[in-house]
Chains A and B, each alone.
Chain A
């Protein structure tokens, strides 16, 4: 997790790059893209589970950043938080379009997808976690990914998901419980039963 000083330094660095871009400096765009787009893509991919869709979301989020640059308020938010927030909302929009039946399931238990055993048997161990993440309700998934895979602090996640810090703690706790139960149930299918390490 990042401390406050590191958070402020990163925010100032991103704001300075955005100001340079707004002044017409193309090199600043390359630096900003190198700093932000890999994280945006990683989050989108983990939440959507689809590379092509994650790439579209990342490009769209970065495009919105370029358009926002001339109006950027340096003291308002960290650019990475802003990007994560845009990515989170774009992912939610896509999930709602493709899977409307899983809407607003913040309190719903994990919903095992069909053909799960077939998928997991063929998947690598990382894919097992990814698959389990995709079976979480969207908000839990976003919170778990941001907290435990992207390494963000709860207040920053609260800002990204537009909820309170307590809600973030609740989402991540329930998400972790569901993931643990899901992955534990899949140990045999994944071939972990014989491992002794």
Chain B
């Protein structure tokens, strides 16, 4: 930087050079000030609503969509369970799949826990 010192006129000065030098070395704020500002920011951080917190904890709208889908599907499996081939009792060989579904309904209702359906239906 030259600061325009070589100028001959006493009322002239290369101000742009002085600006350039000042821009190159801006005043630096202290770490203490940064800490004070961070503390203020934390103290005035708006509180999240329960809904916002719930959304963020479940992964946002997408996560919430998945959760709702899983819940509905689970509920539906409870109300109208799929065929017995998916029943773990059958899969692990605890009981054998009967050719006649009526036999299972009659003999194994207490194992399935859905006897109230068969009774009423």
A residues touching B (Cβ–Cβ < 8 Å)?
Answer: 21-24, 26, 29-30, 32-33, 37-38, 41-42, 45-46, 51, 54-55, 58-59, 62-63, 66-67, 69-70, 125-126, 128-130, 148-149, 151, 176, 179-181, 183-185, 187, 192-193, 195-197
User: Do A148 and B44 touch across chains, with their CB atoms under 8 A apart?
Assistant: no
Choose from A24, A32, A180, A187 the contact partner of B15 (Cβ within 8 Å). A180
B contact residues around A129 at 8 Å (CB): 18-19, 21-22
B residues touching A (Cβ–Cβ < 8 Å)?
Answer: 2-3, 5-7, 9-13, 15, 18-19, 21-23, 25-30, 32-34, 36-38, 40-42, 44-48, 52
How far apart are the CA atoms of A149 and B40 in the complex, in Å?
28
User: Do A22 and B46 touch across chains, with their CB atoms under 8 A apart?
Assistant: yes
User: Do A184 and B46 touch across chains, with their CB atoms under 8 A apart?
Assistant: no
The verdict on A195 contacting B18 (CB below 8 Å), with A23-B52, A62-B40 known, is: no
How far apart are the CA atoms of A130 and B18 in the complex, in Å?
10
Instruction: Please list 29 pairs of residues, one from A and one from B, whose beta carbons are closer than 8 Å in the complex, sorted by A's number.
Output: A21-B45, A24-B48, A24-B52, A26-B42, A37-B37, A41-B27, A41-B29, A55-B29, A58-B33, A62-B37, A63-B44, A66-B40, A66-B45, A67-B44, A69-B46, A126-B21, A129-B22, A180-B11, A184-B11, A184-B12, A184-B13, A185-B10, A187-B10, A192-B3, A193-B5, A195-B6, A196-B5, A196-B6, A197-B5
Chain A: CB-nearest residue to B11: A184
A contact residues around B40 at 8 Å (CB): 59, 62-63, 66
How far apart are the CA atoms of A130 and B6 in the complex, in Å?
21
How far apart are the CA atoms of A29 and B36 in the complex, in Å?
13
